[in-house]
Amino acid sequence: IRSLGRELDAARYQRRTLHHAVEEVKGNIRVLVRMRPLQSSDLAAPRHAVRVEEGSLEVDDQRNTVAVVSPASGTQSFEYYRVYAPPGEDTRDAAAEQQRYVFVEQVQPVLQSLFDGVNVSVLAYGQTGSGKTYTIFGQGAADDPAQQHASTPHSLHRPPSVASPLVLDGLLPQSIEHVFAMKREFESTEALKASPEGGPDPAVGVALRLSMVEVYMSDVYDLLNPVDPATAPAPRMTTGGAASSTTLASSGTRCEVRAVPTGGAVVVGATELGIDSEAAAMDAVARGFAARKTHRTLTNPRSSRSHLLLTVFVDVTARHARGGGVVHRSSRMMFVDLAGSERVHKSLSSGDRLKEAQHINRSLSALGDVLAALTSTKKRSNAASHVPYRNSKLTHLLQPCIGGESKTLMVACICPH
């Protein structure tokens, strides 16, 4: 058994080394494009007509390209790490199958390094309604298409829609499931080092914690610590120009953000919930979502104007060698449902709505600058150039999980119209 254990160790080491080598070649920042299927509400959307005149988008999941076809300037084609076209069949099964496929093909390989201390991030970028929440969390959390264009103040008086059963099959729930499977495998193989009989080794293991925060107008709110609605400040209403709008504090508790000397920033006092099972983790996610959703029914499009950051902190304790001392490694995976990237026309927005749009624009372009700095450093292969993480709270909070050894998947979600 002892020699088998050694062989297993050697094989695992070799597999890991090979895996890392392959992943290294593929690069640490990967941009994926995912086009969601056409929906009946797309045809009702007033912007549809404009889009047709502007041209169309064609995705090719064989060549991994997106072509912008425009009557004025012809066809321009862009290549990405991977492009996903809408599933051929418009059924729930086909949609669920694609969720699984994207996870297995893209996320699972990068999670492989998580217990070795490598940080991972998965970000969803795109306009409101393009499938960001669907991609990260799944159908049960995504917007109901029937409510999608109800962003006028009238929607404030609409009764909240009856919650459909929460089907969470997005990249985050699948990752949580996978990480728990990795944990079980790790703990059982590590245990072999302490006693060849394979009894549990209490000194080794993987501990997981989860946090869920929302970044709105440069403030950070803890969604796992909801504010009691009875004591929350009343919503502030402003009316200006053509559009009237509402700004509310999130239904999470507002937290301070502090820079840490080792790089990045922490949300001071945000709940980090210990999770010892998949069920406990998904329960926490559902609670965080409820805090966000409650809020959403008050000011309908509000959730698309904030960034949602979910972090799973990983603490690994392993044995150095058979019967030897222990070693600790920490890492984390972050899932980010970014604010809607649509442009807000100055003429249509004023007051708080415009301020929100400016915050979103600033943080998304700061994210673009960080990614550009990281990828150009790689290309020129010179000493690390300055990466402007501190230009926005979003990028500062993401710093530990983007750049360096970290693995980043950027999913650009696009609409078919």
Q: Is 131 annotated as a binding residue?
A: yes
Tokens 């983007």 belong to 402
Which listed residue (103, 115, 125, 134) binds ligand ADP by CB under 6 A? 134
Check binding of 139 to Mg ion (CB under 5 A).
no
Residue nearest to ligand ADP as judged by C-beta position: 131
Site size toward ligand ADP, by CB under 6 A: 17
- Tell me which residues in 247-306 interact with ligand ADP (CB under 6 A): 304
CB of 96 to ligand ADP, least distance (A): 9
Stretch binding ligand ADP (CB under 6 A), from 135-143, 222-230, 234-242, 398-406? 135-143
Helix, strand, coil tally for the chain in percent (to 5): 40, 25, 35
- Mark out the alpha helices in 91-211 (DSSP H runs): 92-102, 108-111, 132-136, 171-194
Check binding of 247 to Mg ion (CB under 5 A).
no
d(CA 104, CA 139): 18
Nearer to Mg ion among residue 133 and residue 250 (C-beta): 133
d(CA 191, CA 170): 32
CB of 133 to Mg ion, least distance (A): 3
- Tokens encoding 353: 């709505």
Site string for Mg ion, 87-126 (x = CB under 5 A): ----------------------------------------
Check binding of 353 to ligand ADP (CB under 6 A).
no
Which listed residue (113, 133, 299, 392) binds ligand ADP by CB under 6 A? 133
Stretch binding ligand ADP (CB under 6 A), from 42-50, 67-75, 123-131, 273-281? 123-131
Q: Is 129 annotated as a binding residue?
A: yes
Which listed residue (83, 129, 216, 245) binds ligand ADP by CB under 6 A? 129
Nearer to ligand ADP among residue 35 and residue 227 (C-beta): 35
- Tokens encoding 261: 């000397």
Site string for ligand ADP, 88-107 (x = CB under 6 A): -------x------------
- Residue 111: φ, ψ to 5°: -70, -20
Spacing of C-alpha 199 from chain mean position: 37
Q: Where are the beta strands (DSSP E) in 248-379?
A: 252-259, 265-268, 273-275, 307-319, 326-337
Encode 101-129: b = buried (16+ Cβ within 10 Å), e = exposed.
ebbeebbeebbbbbbeebbbbbbbbbbbb
Q: Is 127 annotated as a binding residue?
A: yes
Q: Is 239 annotated as a binding residue?
A: no
Q: Is 126 annotated as a binding residue?
A: yes
**46: helix, strand or coil:** coil
412, 113 contact by CB (below 8 A): no
392, 104 contact by CB (below 8 A): no
Torsion sign over Cα 191, 196, 199, 203? negative
Q: Taking CB within 5 to 8 Å according to partner kind, which of Mg ion, ligand ADP, none is near residue 95?
A: ligand ADP
Q: Is 253 annotated as a binding residue?
A: no
Q: Is 263 annotated as a binding residue?
A: no
**164: helix, strand or coil:** coil
Check binding of 133 to Mg ion (CB under 5 A).
yes
Check binding of 143 to ligand ADP (CB under 6 A).
yes
Alpha carbon separation from 21 to 15, 66, 204 (Å, rounded): 10, 29, 27
Q: Taking CB within 5 to 8 Å according to partner kind, which of ligand ADP, Mg ion, none is near residue 130?
A: ligand ADP
Q: Annotated binding site for ATP, which residues?
A: 126-133
- List residues binding Mg ion (CB under 5 A): 133
- List residues binding ligand ADP (CB under 6 A): 36-37, 95, 126, 128-134, 139, 142-143, 145, 304, 413
